[in-house]
Amino acid sequence: METKNANTNGSSKQPKPRWYRATLGIAASAALIAGVAISGATFVSADQAVKNPLADLSPQQAAAIESAQSLSSAFRTVSSRVLPAVVAIENRPAVAAMTKQKVQPSSEPFGGQNPFKGTPFEDMFNDGTFNGRRFQMPPNMEPPSGSRPSAGIGSGVIIDPSGIILTNNHVVAGGGEVIVRTQDGREFVATDVWTDPKTDVAVVKIENATDLVAAVMGDSDQVEIGDWVLALGQPFGLESTVTAGIISAKHRGIGIADRENFLQTDAAINPGNSGGPLVNLRGEIVGINTAIHSRSGGNEGIGFAVPSNLANWVSDQLLNSGTVKRAYLGVGIQPVTQDIAKQLSVKPRGGVVVTDVFEGTPAEKAGLKSGDVIVRFNDQAVSSPQALQLIVERGAIGREQTIEVMRDGKSVMLKFVAEEQTSDFASADAKDSQREGKRLENLGLEIAPVDAEVAKQLGVEGNSGVVITMVADGSPADDAGLKPGMLITQVDRQSVESVADFEAAIKQNREQKKGGVLLLVRTEAGSKFVVIKS
């Protein structure tokens, strides 16, 4: 993904760094060489110190250093094995478009254009700003008049030595010429590019490339929070970069793709890392680096990667048929909040509640009913609408599967035969997906449409507004006193009747750079205005 170097060549002079050499006085040096004791201190000879720098440490201290050195050795081994499989990817605009357009120098940030247009970062950059902060293009990076614009720069990883490369959709989207540069400096024009925007996964194929090294796909389901991982790629165009960190969280949804189940990591990921691999200490790919959450535009310890199992499933289908075939249920669903859990006699987040069952769908054939709480699907526990959707879609089409639901406080087992999602239902599903809730990471809250039951509890007519289903600790929403179960009826004095209305109002607020969002919220105690600082 294209990015701009954050360093600038300013005119102000910076103080020169002072360098200090660790030396001993003449008398002390002589004593050290002689190996004599001064004031009770025992000195090790210079020859001994060179041969064993840990000689004067306790066994515990030496063991600790050796343990750290073993981890360093593991990082070094994994890096040397995986780096040859990491490639740089450039998406160049079509030749016809380049002959019609010339890039003129501009005093506006990024020439007045959004450099991340068509990528998941597009909405974060408006008129050269990122979350309200303005970024200037350094003078040494201003594009000369008539130069060729670049639509996207990112990373990828070879997963088959025949020339199959895994990357992000937003790295190669736009229909330009895709150039792949291997670690040894060779360049190839991609002969085929297959994409799946719903997961932000893409597959690139190059031909006539010999001696390619492929990385091994790992099992992301086996990854646990706290595991060491390495992120490899081309951040800011810097080739063959490796950073280390841990898995910070799993099953994240951040609102940049239709199908999300991200691994979160604190391994440094920056623009340009997109499409590169996230690997474990066995050198196996456990994720594809995709996005960052940042106020500055650079790494702040919160990066996201598509899990390898999801990326592998998508890539297999793209390679086999050029498209991704997904199964579907045909239901409307929403999270199980604490209030809903009490009413339905289930645990909070212990499944997802069915709000609608659409006629003629596999869900209706399976016997699902509105009010059922789906707790397990095909022996996999279900904790969120997002998790259920991913499990269902990856099910084998035509094969019978089991669904466990809680109905009237009792467990009921149902049989479900997966069917391929049609284009007509996919369009309807895209509209209905708002029922599953939407997470807005910048505000730190998740919202969902209001159903009849919630409206009745809050004493409001109809299903207008959106209900808060989750508030992140320490977030702007939390600081403002928002709680799950509250109903939002207005944003900046504008009425909202759906999740889409809420998102549009928040986007308008950001474009106007108000610095805060005025909400009218309603609880059982009545309505009040709340301001979220953004």
Residue 231 lies in a domain: yes
Question: Who wins on pLDDT, 220 or 11?
Answer: 220
Residue 216 counted as domain residue: yes
Q: Domain end: 403, 432, 461, which one? A: 432
Same domain, 301 and 444: no
- Which domain covers residue 28, as residue numbers? 22-55
The residue among 277, 302, 324 that closes a domain is 324
If asked whether residues 477 and 462 sit together in one domain, one would say yes
Q: Is there a single domain that holds both residue 410 and residue 467?
A: no
Q: In terms of Cα–Cα distance, which of 494, 487, 500, 497 is closest to 455?
A: 487
**Selected catalytic residue, list 79, 170, 248, 294:** 170
* Residue 257 sits in the same domain as residue 360: no
Mean pLDDT across the chain: 75
The single-letter code of the amino acid at 25 is G
In a domain, 114, yes or no: no
Q: Are residues 217 and 268 in the same domain?
A: yes
- 496 inside domain: yes
Q: Is 311 contained in some domain?
A: yes
Q: Are residues 367 and 415 in the same domain?
A: yes
274: annotated active-site residue: yes
62 domain-assigned: no
Of 200, 266, 429, 451, which residue is the catalytic one?
200
373, 336 contact by CB (below 8 A): yes
pLDDT of the residue at 423: 63
pLDDT digits (tens, 9 = 90+) for 116-150: 444 444 443 444 443 333 332 223 223 333 333 34
Catalytic annotation present for 423? no
Report which of 241, 234, 229, 243 is spatially closest to residue 279, judged by C-alpha positions: 229
The token pair at 499 is: 């999740």
Number of Cβ within a 10 Å radius of residue 72:
11
Task: Please check whether residues 298 and 264 belong to one and the same domain.
Answer: yes
> Of 366, 398, 432, which residue is a domain's last?
432
Whole-model pTM? 0.62
Catalytic residue among 79, 220, 248, 274: 274
Which residues contribute to the annotated binding site for substrate? 170, 200, 272-274
Active site residue 251: no
Calpha distance 347→317 (Å, rounded): 36
Look at residue 72 and tell me if it is in a domain. no
SS3 content of the chain, % helix, strand, coil (to 5): 25, 30, 45
Looking at the structure, do residues 408 and 288 belong to the same domain, yes or no?
A: no
Same domain, 288 and 157: yes
451 lies in the same domain as 504: yes
Q: In CATH, what number is assigned to the domain containing residue 396?
A: 2.30.42.10
Same-domain check for residues 155 and 297: yes
| Binding site, annotated residues | 170, 200, 272-274
pLDDT tens for each residue of 14-46:
443 333 223 223 333 333 333 444 344 444 455
Q: Do 222 and 283 have their domain in common?
A: yes
448: number of Cβ within 10 Å: 23
Buried b (16+ CB within 10 A) or exposed e, 412-425: eebebebbebeeeb
Q: Average pLDDT of 294-310? A: 82
Structural domains in the chain (count): 4
Segment of 339-348, 396-405, 502-511 carrying the highest mean pLDDT = 396-405
26 lies in some domain = yes
pLDDT of residue 137: 26
Amino acid 313: pLDDT: 94
Question: CA–CA separation, 456 vs 14, rounded Å?
Answer: 65
Give the C-alpha distances (Å, rounded to integers) separating 359 from 353, 391, 425.
18, 22, 11
d(CA 279, CA 286): 5
Predicted confidence at residue 194, as pLDDT, reads: 94
* pLDDT tens string 332-353: 888 887 767 777 778 777 788 8
Report the CATH number at residue 196: 2.40.10.120
Q: Pick the closest to residue 254 from 355, 435, 123, 377 (CA basis).
A: 123
Listed in sequence order, the residues at least 6 apart from 493 whose beta carbon sits closer than 8 Å to its beta carbon are 518, 520
